[in-house]
Amino acid sequence: MQDTCLREINYLRVSVTDRCNMRCVYCMPPQGVKHVSHEDILRNEEMARLVRAGSMAGIKKVRITGGEPLVRKGLVGLVESISLIPEIDDIALTTNGVLLPAAGKELKTAGLRRVNISLDTLDPELFRFITRKGNFKEVWRGIEVALELGLHPVKLNTVVMKGFNDGEIKDLAALTMKYPLHVRFIELMPVGASDSWTAGRHIPASEIRQSIELELGGLINAHRPCGNGPARYYRLPGSQGTIGFISAVSDHFCKNCNRLRLTAEGMIRPCLYSGKEIDARTPLRKGAGEAELAGLFRQAVSVKPERHDIDAGWQDEKRIMSQIGG
């Protein structure tokens, strides 16, 4: 599918739940969010049917997100159903890693190919503070399991926050020397729940890169590891993995955007930072055929904006990023 900017849209991020087993300070308020009722959340078979319809329109790659997707019951069966869609050639998962040791083997057997794991610090105490309730050892074990299972490439997503984890940039980047990990440094973005908390804590990707090069030496261009995201990749000489930078705020990548989002409630969202959505749940539950459902994906592509408006802050008054699938 091509949008009005002639971008090829073939990537769908599927949020399977608005729930999470952590409360990261830049993502959620301490009490969490008001959860959507079970009746309003798509059933697994409904999600699979919409992905199948999306594949008829041109979707080829799927990423499972949340909230925390591993808290969703029946996720293994959903991954298996998606893997059986002939047009889908890649299934990935974004997770905090805590539940991956228990579910990883079954997910890989079902068709999961690779994972992104969120890790903002290597300091257990700071990790507990940032996540409000997380255990660093559990997440690190999730990373180890992903490597053991061969869910390659294993990417680590690190949100850099001034005054919190910016002193660890070197240590996090150095993980790529010791392990076949792909560490992606992500600029802090306004995500709705904590815009006031994020104020003054943003560090542009250019400064993050400069910090790495001052501490560890020059970075060289690297081939993009398997994936569909917007990171620009480099590597340290002799490293096993790569270092990526995602500069959504300082240097937006909208001209190369290839994605749509499907929320857990069945809304197709053309852009994370736009409130425009196409309701797929209502026609799905009214018995719409796959051709009609595929048309909804094409409709979403037709209204995809040229670029986001992140500078204006979070615009959705109904939901925050964790309820959409970042």
CA 151 – CA 21 distance, rounded (Å): 22
Residue pair 116/88 in contact by the 8 Å Cβ criterion: no
CA 57 – CA 54 distance, rounded (Å): 5
CA 302 – CA 5 distance, rounded (Å): 9
Can you give the pLDDT at residue 311?
58
Residue at 5 is within a domain: no
HSE-CB at 202 with a 13 A cutoff on CA atoms is: 22
**E strands within the chain?**
11-15, 61-65, 90-95, 114-118, 154-160, 181-187, 220-221, 232-235, 242-246, 259-262, 267-269, 278-279
Residue at 197 is within a domain: yes
Can you give the pLDDT at residue 276?
86
Can you give the pLDDT at residue 188?
86
Q: In angstroms, what is the C-alpha Rg of the chain?
A: 19
Can you give the pLDDT at residue 60?
97
Residue at 1 is within a domain: no
| CATH number, domain containing residue 86 | 3.20.20.70
Residue at 4 is within a domain: no
Residue pair 219/243 in contact by the 8 Å Cβ criterion: yes
What domain range includes position 93? 11-323
Residue pair 234/242 in contact by the 8 Å Cβ criterion: yes
Number of H helices and E strands in the chain, helices first, is 10, 12
Q: How many domains does the structure of the chain reveal?
A: 1
Residue at 85 is within a domain: yes
Per-residue pLDDT of the chain (326 residues; tens, 9 = 90+): 998 999 999 999 999 998 888 988 877 776 666 677 889 999 999 999 999 999 999 999 999 999 899 999 999 999 999 999 999 999 999 999 999 999 999 999 999 999 999 999 999 999 999 998 899 999 999 999 999 999 999 999 999 999 999 999 999 999 999 999 999 999 987 655 555 556 678 899 999 999 999 999 999 999 888 877 778 999 999 999 999 999 877 667 788 889 999 999 999 999 887 778 999 999 999 999 999 999 999 999 999 988 766 655 555 556 655 567 65
Can you give the pLDDT at residue 193?
53
CA 192 – CA 177 distance, rounded (Å): 35
- Strand 242-246 relative to strand 181-187, pairing: parallel
Residue at 214 is within a domain: yes
Residue at 210 is within a domain: yes
Two structure tokens written together for 26 = 């830049």
pTM over 0.85: yes
- CB proximity list for 39: less than 8 A, separation 6 or greater: none
Residue at 2 is within a domain: no
